[in-house]
Amino acid sequence: MFPALLVFFLLAAESIGTLAEDSTGLNFIVAFPENIANYYPGDPQNKVRITAMNDNTQVTLQWFNNAPGGPDTLNKGQTREYPVDVKMELRKTGFSNKTLKITSTKNITVQAINCKKTSTQTALVMPTDQLGTKYFIPPIPNIQGTTVPSDIVTTDVTERAPFKLVIVNTDKVNHVTVGNNQTIALHPYELSQVWVRDNASRTVQADNAVAVLFGHTCAMKDNCTCGQLYATLPPANNEMLKFYIPPILAQNASDKAFVLLSERGSITRVLAFNKDLQLVEAAGTAIFYRPGLLLTLIPETDFGSCYVVNTVPDMQTFALIVVNKSLTDGVHNGTLPLQNPRWQELKGTEYVSTLVAVGNQSVIWHASSKMAVYFLGKKDNAWFGNPAPVISKTPDFRGCVLAPEVVKIADVAVGWRESLKYCNDKGLNLISFPKAQLQSHIYGKILQLNNHTVQEVWIGMRRSSRTGEWYWLNQEPVSATNWDEGEPGTIFDGMCVLMSLETGKDFVWSGKDCCMAAYSICYKEPVLFWG
Q: Is 209 helix (H, G, I), strand (E, B) or coil?
A: strand
- In DSSP terms, 313 is beta-bridged to none
Closest Cα to residue 54, out of 9, 105, 19, 116?
Answer: 105
β-strands 100-116, 45-52: how paired? antiparallel
Half-sphere exposure of 432 (CA within 13 A, CB side): 15
State the pLDDT at residue 220.
Answer: 85
Cα–Cα dist 330/321, whole Å: 12
271: DSSP letter: E
In single-letter form, the type of residue at position 441 comes to H
DSSP 366-423: ESSS-BEEEEEEEETTEEEEEEPPEEES---TTSEEEE--EEEE-SS-B-HHHHHHHH
d(CA 5, CA 293): 10
Q: Which of 162, 173, 90, 167 is nearest to 134 (CA)?
A: 167
pLDDT value for 2? 37
Q: What is the pTM of this model?
A: 0.89
- Write the burial class of residue 246 (CB in 10 Å: 0-12 exposed, 13-18 middle, 19+ buried): buried
- Are 186 and 157 in contact by the 8 Å Cβ rule? The answer is no
How many C-beta neighbours within 10 Å does residue 190 have? 19
Cα gap 206→235, rounded to integer Å = 11
**Domains of the chain: residue spans and CATH:** 25-392 (no CATH), 405-530 (3.10.100.10)
Q: How far apart are CA 432 and CA 247, in angstroms?
A: 46
Query: How far, rounded to the nearest angstrom, does the alpha carbon of residue 264 sit from its chain's CA centroid?
Result: 24
- Specify the pLDDT at position 190: 94
- Residues in contact with 342: Cβ distance below 8 Å, sequence separation at least 6, in sequence order: 354, 355
In this structure, the chain runs to a length of 531
State the pLDDT at residue 4. Answer: 35
pLDDT, position 20: 57
Amino acid at 436: A
Instruction: Give, for all 531 residues of the chain, the pLDDT tens digit.
Output: 333 333 332 222 223 333 457 899 999 999 999 888 877 777 888 999 999 999 999 999 998 777 777 799 999 999 999 999 888 989 877 899 999 999 999 999 999 999 888 789 999 999 999 999 999 999 999 888 888 887 777 777 777 788 999 999 999 999 999 988 889 999 999 999 999 877 667 899 999 999 999 999 988 887 778 889 999 999 998 899 999 999 999 988 888 999 999 998 788 899 999 888 999 999 999 999 999 999 999 999 999 999 999 888 888 899 999 999 999 999 999 989 998 999 999 999 999 999 999 888 899 999 999 999 999 998 877 899 999 999 999 999 999 999 999 999 999 999 999 999 999 999 999 999 999 999 999 998 898 887 778 899 999 999 999 999 999 999 999 999 999 999 998 888 899 999 999 988 899 999 999 999 999 999 999 999 976
